Structure 1
């Protein structure tokens, strides 16, 4: 009989490429993961990992077993979802991924609401960029995630996932107070062509989107500074080092020397939750999505007027 925890350990190594990365995801030590794989090797009578430089690689037998493990773990999740749905109670533990502004502007209020309405449900927050969260939900390392994408560059959602809209959000531009356009009520993005920009770090949705958006107006991006947190980006704006895109949801306090100017036409992003098809019947998933919607800010007047 194959042990599920041992299959999870092997599956995590296959998904993340190393024993240490698998240990981080599974919240155990590298020694514990190695022990699980060693026991699985004894159970199967097959060698599953081989040395590959400083790391390891999966043997052919391990690759075969990982394919079965994906289906087995998926069936276990379906069984868990069906049992929870049959019971009809919002109980258990859910791992929720969220990008920074939603982790600040949505999730705390949603968790507080869930504690009151569903005290037997425990939601654990993990802050990741949307691209990371998307992959982790697909692999089963998160139960659901709050993602964002932009009206001019939507994310591709893999098959086998479900999606529920939470709210829409608008982005303005943050400028140094002494910028020639800083006192305007609104500007067109093309008026900033050639200006230096401050954006998020490499590999993030926000950096990719800003690059795409600027190139769409025939402006080759001059992204001179990169920082993950909006608070750091705004500090750089306040120092006069460039402009930054600033979504309204979860907006932090503006430091001295920063002015926020509206853009025309509007640049909007959609905030939504995703979860795996196998987990769709879990009452806890539905409860989290409903709580996120309940605490989401109302549609901005600009979007209501355009509707």
Structure 2
């Protein structure tokens, strides 16, 4: 008899112990910690910073990944080293394929990480920025699987909004249609990753983690998650005028190069790094660490109610 998806899931020792004891756990994606997310050594710095932020608030970090054809939630030090060198991205649609084909290392995107967090019984997940509706989607149909995953797994996703090069109004519209509560952490505006405000009002502002927990509890659709948006810290924000100019150049370049689908995000982020003389990397680190800390606060609050 073949084993089930649940039986194949590998939990790290610390994560397993925390879940059994009813303590707070925060899932973390692995794409941002791989070469597809940040260049070395910044990817390793991001991993350590996010883990430390989660630990500081009393929760256990659980990095998700595919290793040797099996889904992992919570990694050992040696397994983390493999993720840092990962070059193969895994979205939720790829999870079964990665297992069936025995992929050596697969770094998980938001959609895969949310799915694995749900499978492991983890209710809070932290990332940098989610994917969304791409510009020109009315022609290409390009909509990130992240949105569908958030809409179909009862997990609180903590992010700095969505990637700034996306169609943010349509992204918010999609989330509304899917019934996903979108919250602004002590902030009135939907963040745009490197900038604190996209100019679009966030549907609901929340002031503390207890309210976030109650939003998840009181949802009307049992399978639907929650998106908690956290603006990048003020001191780490890249001025909107500068990032907008850089984005325009990066998007034009990607269009000329024929880059589409999942390849757009790493391509554009690499261009942004180049055009900002590397200033986007400290911003990435700051927002990822900040999100992880807020996620840990929410996770701890969930265990207390």
The TM-score with structure 2 as length reference comes to 0.32
Q: Whose strand fraction is larger, Structure 1's or Structure 2's?
A: 1
Q: Give the alignment's TM-score, normalised by structure 1.
A: 0.31
| Larger relative contact order (CA 8 Å, sep ≥ 6) | 1
